[in-house]
A and B are shown apart, each in its own frame.
Chain A
Amino acid sequence: MNILVCITHVPDTTSRIAFTNDNTEFDKNGVQFIIGPYDDYALARAVELKEQNGGKITVLNVGEADSDPTIRKALAIGADEAIRVNAFPSDSYFVANQIAAIAKDGGYDLILMGRESIDFNGGMVHGMVGELLGLPSFSPVMQLEVEGNSAKITREIEGGKEKLEVSLPFVAGCQEPIAEWKIPNMRGIMSARTKPLNVVEPTDNATHSEMAAYELPAEKGAVKMIDADNVGELVDLLKNEAKVI
């Protein structure tokens, strides 16, 4: 089985979000970058499927050189080789186009990625890639079992879940509980150093949008503490101050 796993290189969830250069750039100062948490689920499931069925996992990132440590971590977790499209991921259209350009001749049985990145939270690249490649796409996928040329998937729907049977190949946007995240072991970390990480240039620079400026939300006021023996005060505040009930 030949699996392409697309990963994002994103600030850790706990990162302080700040902007620089007149609010036009994300401030990376002191920020730890990680594999997108949803992408991590996709990668973990790919590793399990490879263990069951054999095959190869290629991990793909559209990003600049500072993505390389994140990509090496994916190799340490179990990907066999990596491709980095050497470009700033300007918008979802640009990223999807680059993924499709890599995937179209790769003969992949599955193209997996997270349901969304945790920086831009768009959740739409999987559909774009599916459409560009003429493949079905499914998201958010919570379970994925492969048998020969077909797969059973469970996707989340609002307030529940749905099981589907589908044929390979397809694109899936993944989320928990599709697999347990995998932590690289020492052997994986050592072998990742020698696995190929191929850097390729983007096929084109077409985008559909331009970033103008970032903003931070207004600061929240201090919490009002209410005595546990006086819940009526909370009801009064919700009714007359917040006006939410």
Chain B
Amino acid sequence: MSVLVFIETEEGKIKKSAREAISYGAALGDVTALALGTVSQDELATAGENGASKVLHVSDERLNASLIQPYAEAIAAAANATGSEIIVTAKSSLADAVVGRVAIKLGASLVSNVVALPDTSNGFQVKRSIYTGKAFANVNLTTDKKVLAIKKNAIEVKTDGAAASVEALSVTLDDSLFGATITSTEKAEGDVLLPEADIVVSGGRGLKGPENWGVIEDLAKTLGAATGCSKPVSDMDWRPHHEHVGQTGVKVSPTLYVAVGISGAIQHLAGVNSSKYIVVINKDEEAPFFKAADYGIVGDAFEVLPKLNEALKAALA
């Protein structure tokens, strides 16, 4: 079975979630990965480690701005060129915006938040996360072509493949597809991207103010983690909105989520309930978050965090 995997890159590197998507695709059939915009051939060849036999590269510089319509056009064109029946991508802000268009172009069924390999014993059934991680649905896809968006951190990255061949793919992209003009981009530099992160350290109102975020950042640095925050914290502009974890912010699914000074409103829990392990540190022993946690410490963040940071540093040294 021919599988096309659209891979997103960040700062010239294939994202971890894209490697998860390739690994997913490799379990289904022969994977051709697709990269758009400027990326080095050497980096693209590493998609082979995760199971891609070939990488198609549409290097059109106009694709460095990730505009939705040309992305959808290029992905659909690559799917047609390779005769792929299944198109796989990691779920992300960009992919969410793009793949609906791709599915319509291809007449394909589309399912998002996929958390497991399909059951093909009787048709094609996939398991997806629904109700913001509070349940799953098993869905039968009834069209020949299928587009699957894989939930981040749901699939283990395969690392035993070889280098992939990289081939240029030429796609005609009409200027009219580039109608939107990007006037500015603001991006946090050098940080671990929150939606991609394996470990997340989040702070809430218990931190008392933005000037105290150093204890969160120190712990995150030690753990190689991304930093997040609760909604009130981003509402008060202590931290930027793209760090807001929760129902209406970023939903994360790390292996470890550390919540500091966050009481655990249901809207926050909805953004973190796919985490594999949750650690809660809070002064209030009645904080509802403890009920959702695997490990809990009742204590003052400003006393606990420096001690925890030192202990972690020693353990990880």
The answer on A and B forming one complex is yes
The 5 closest A-B pairs by CB, nearest first: A127-B100, A228-B299, A208-B109, A160-B187, A124-B100
A: residues with CB less than 8 A from B are 11, 13-14, 17, 19, 37-38, 41, 91-93, 96, 115-116, 118-132, 136-140, 142, 152, 155-167, 173, 175-177, 207-217, 220-221, 223-228, 231-232, 234-239, 242, 244-245
Interface pair B98/A209, CB less than 8 Å apart: no
Q: B270 — which chain A residues lie within 8 A by C-beta?
A: 13, 118
B: residues with CB less than 8 A from A are 10, 66, 68-69, 72, 91-94, 96-101, 103-105, 108-113, 125, 127, 129-143, 149, 179-188, 191, 193-196, 199, 223, 241-242, 247-249, 251, 255-256, 266-267, 270, 276-277, 279-280, 290-300, 303-304, 307-308, 311-312, 315-316
Q: Could you list 7 examples of A-B contacts with CB < 8 Å?
A: A128-B101, A136-B68, A173-B97, A210-B140, A231-B307, A231-B311, A242-B276
Interface pair B297/A127, CB less than 8 Å apart: no
Q: In the assembly, what is the distance between CA of A129 and CA of B294, in Å?
A: 42
Q: In the complex, what's the smallest C-beta–C-beta distance from A15 to chain B, in angstroms?
A: 8
Partner of A156, one of B109, B242, B255: B242
Known interface pairs A13-B266, A121-B132; A223-B113 also in contact (CB < 8 Å)? no
Shortest Cβ distance from A215 into B: residue: B136
Known interface pairs A138-B68, A156-B93, A212-B125; A93-B311 also in contact (CB < 8 Å)? no
Q: A139 — which chain B residues lie within 8 A by C-beta?
A: 68, 93, 96-97
Contacts A136-B180, A158-B195 supplied; 16 other A-B pairs, CB < 8 Å:
A118-B270, A119-B131, A124-B110, A128-B110, A129-B100, A136-B69, A139-B68, A158-B196, A162-B185, A209-B109, A226-B296, A228-B300, A231-B304, A234-B279, A234-B311, A242-B295
Q: In the assembly, what is the distance between CA of A217 and CA of B104, in Å?
A: 32
Q: B290 — which chain A residues lie within 8 A by C-beta?
A: 223, 225
Q: In the assembly, what is the distance between CA of A122 and CA of B137, in Å?
A: 12
